[in-house]
Amino acid sequence: MSWVNWILVICMYPFVLIMYFCLKNEGHDPKKRVYYGVSLSKEQAEDQIVTEIGNAYKKQMKRLLWISFLTSVPVLILPSFSIAFTYWCFWFLFVCFVFFWPFGIANKKLREVKLEKGWTTGEAQPRYTEIKEAAGIRKVKWYHFLGPVVISIACVVWAVLQPRDGREAMLIILAATFGGMTLMFAALAFWMDKEKTAIVSSDSNVNVNYARARKNMWKNFWVAFAWFNTLYTVGILFYQVQESEVTGMFWLLLGLYILFTVILLVWVIQKSKALEERYADKMDLKVEEGDDAHWLWGMLYCNPKDKHTMVNKRVGLGTTINLATPVGKGVAVFLILTLLSMPVLGIWLILDDFTPIQLKVEENCLVAKHVTEKYRVPFEDVREAQLLTKLPNIGRNYGTSMDNVKKGNYRLRDESISCEVLLNPENGLFIRLETEDEIYLFSGFDDTETRQVYEAMIK
């Protein structure tokens, strides 16, 4: 059992608790007269059937909370990191979706009850538009993100200008990835800031003040996230320059990133809750009955007639995306692909971990294979070949670094030069080849295979 496995699980427990308490409390919102995503009057909500549905919902949520905790235990006891990580990926997907299941069931039952009992007014519900400050309320300014954006761009430029010693590719990837996230946070902030004023009251002043408070809250959220992401970018680049292997500092930085993200999410949830409570008595416009059909399972909003990309959640806090809009569809596809890519990554790690290295002589060439990696070095290109009884001091520039597999571009620390590597570091024998353009370090499945290949080369 590795301490890395503990970090994987411990970092997820706050997420599990946030999912549980948010969805548990979002079951009903008497102020909005919405129960499990279905609009009901106060009298209808007091019906015995509605109470029974609510009690069943709470029991299911508690049961799933314990199941989520118990199903995380295998991550801590599985000996192989690749298997443990793959299991964790599937567990993460399970946790992401499982708590929505009871809500969907409660929503389906309530909609059936509402239809059976005829709990509809049949009256057309009016739609409102706020004309006061119709040009929109803006809280996000360009200078709020100037610092993070400039630093992120500087990190990318710095990575591009690094010496070509094999590490520059990983530095550029890291700088571009996290720098791009900072730009994305800024874009999201401006996008959310341009959304039209939400109509929550017949009093325009209430609508305007409510919109200002919400937009200011989200501005602070995205600015804080952008700054922390930028600091993390600087930290991870500094770490990558100092250390090429994944050490405790890497996981510490990752743990801090996840912890800060959780803290920031808790903060915005609490601020949203406080804002809703402050304006609860002033929200005199009830939820439109006809919108029940536009809320899939009571949580996903899909209304082709509504041109708003983002809307207030029908139940609970925050905003959600209208899946009927082009942006909504794009975001939905991106999230689905991102989530599904996690177990694919885990399965790939298992292949890397358990596929043996193949080293052989073929057509006067040394051939080294592992999954998709393949090196083919003609004997005529080899200037020097050595059989090493000890693995040199190497550090990864980019590639794979596991307990039983190292492959990719590495740095020979004692010689300050790069080399191509495909070997099992647990072995005792290694082949070093030097050509005019490259240095290679290879090993076979075991020492016997490595020695046989070396002897076949020097004949």
Tell whether the model's pLDDT for residue 46 goes beyond 90. no
pLDDT at 430 over 90: yes
Q: Give the residue among 58, 90, 63 at the shortest CA–CA distance from 74.
A: 90
pLDDT of 123 above 60? no
Least confident of 105-114, 131-140, 186-195: 131-140
**pLDDT band at residue 135, thresholds of 50, 70 and 90?**
very low
Q: What is the pLDDT of residues 246-292, one digit of tens each?
A: 556 777 777 788 888 888 888 887 888 788 778 777 776 555 555 67
| Residue 442 pLDDT class (50, 70, 90 cuts) | very high
Band of pLDDT at residue 194, cut at 50, 70 and 90: confident
Task: State residue 134's pLDDT score.
Answer: 44
Q: What's the token pair of residue 404?
A: 């039983």
Q: What pLDDT, on a 0 to 100 scale, did the predictor assign at position 129? A: 56
| pLDDT on residue 447 | 94
Burial of 410 (C-beta count, 10 Å sphere; 0-12/13-18/19+): buried
What confidence score (pLDDT) does residue 131 get?
Answer: 52
The pLDDT of residue 446 is: 92
Higher pLDDT, 143 or 115: 143
Supply the pLDDT for residue 31: 61
Specify the pLDDT at position 197.
Answer: 63
What percent of the chain is predicted at pLDDT more than 90?
Answer: 23
| Residues 121 and 75: beta-carbon distance below 8 Å | no
Q: What is the mean pLDDT of residues 295-307?
A: 81
Q: What is the pTM of this model?
A: 0.70
pLDDT tens column, 383-420 = 999 999 999 998 887 788 888 899 988 888 888 888 99
Give the pLDDT of residue 27: 66
The whole-angstrom separation of Cα 163 and Cα 415 is: 16
What pLDDT score does 45 carry? 81
- Alpha-carbon distance of 429 to 392, in angstroms, equals 11
CA 271/CA 278 separation, integer angstroms: 10
113 pLDDT above the threshold of 60: yes
- Check residue 147 and give its pLDDT: 94
- Mean pLDDT for the chain overall: 82
Q: What is the pLDDT of residue 247?
A: 58
Structure tokens, 131: 């004309």
Mean pLDDT lowest for which of 12-16, 194-198, 238-242, 302-306?
A: 194-198
HEC secondary structure over the chain: CCHHHHHHHHHHHHHHHHHHHHHHHCCEECCCCEECCEECCHHHHCCHHHHHHHHHHHHHHHHHHHHHHHCCHHHHHCCCHHHHHHHHHHHHHHHHHHCHHHHHHHHHHHHHHHHHHCCCCCCCCCCCCCCCCCCCCCCCCHHHCHHHHHHHHHHHHHHHCCCCCCCHHHHHHHHHHHHHHHHHHHHHHHHHHCCCCCCCCCCHHHHHHHHHHHHHHHHHHHHHHHHHHHHHHHHHHHHHHHCCCCCHHHHHHHHHHHHHHHHHHHHHHHHHHHHHHHHHHHCCCCCCHHHHHHEECCCEECCCCCCCCEEECCCCCCEEEECCCHHHHHHHHHHHHHHHHHHHHHHHHHHHHHCCCEEEECCCEEEEEECCEEEEEEHHHCCEEEEECCCCCEEEEEEEECCCCEEEEEEECCCCEEEEEEECCCCCCEEEEECCCCEEEECCCCHHHHHHHHHHHHC
Identify which of 287-296, 347-356, 446-455 has the greatest average pLDDT: 446-455
Alpha-carbon distances of 59 from 24, 132, 209, 269, 315, rounded to whole Å: 10, 45, 39, 24, 20
Confidence of residue 424 (pLDDT cuts 50, 70, 90): very high
Q: 396, 406 in Cβ contact below 8 A?
A: yes
Q: CA–CA distance from 449 to each of 61, 280, 434, 452, 458 (Å)?
A: 55, 74, 20, 5, 15
Cα torsion through 403, 405, 408, 409, rounded to 10: 50
Task: Answer for the pair 378, 399: CB distance below 8 angstroms, yes or no.
Answer: no
Q: What is the average per-residue pLDDT within 144-152?
A: 94
The pLDDT of 141-158, averaged and rounded, is 93
Triad 350, 251, 249: Cα angle to 5°: 130
Confidence band of 182 (pLDDT split at 50, 70, 90): very high
- Rounded distance between C-alpha atoms, residue 313 and residue 269, angstroms: 13
Which value, in Å, is the radius of gyration of the alpha carbons in the chain?
28
Look at residue 302 and tell me whether its pLDDT is greater than 70: yes
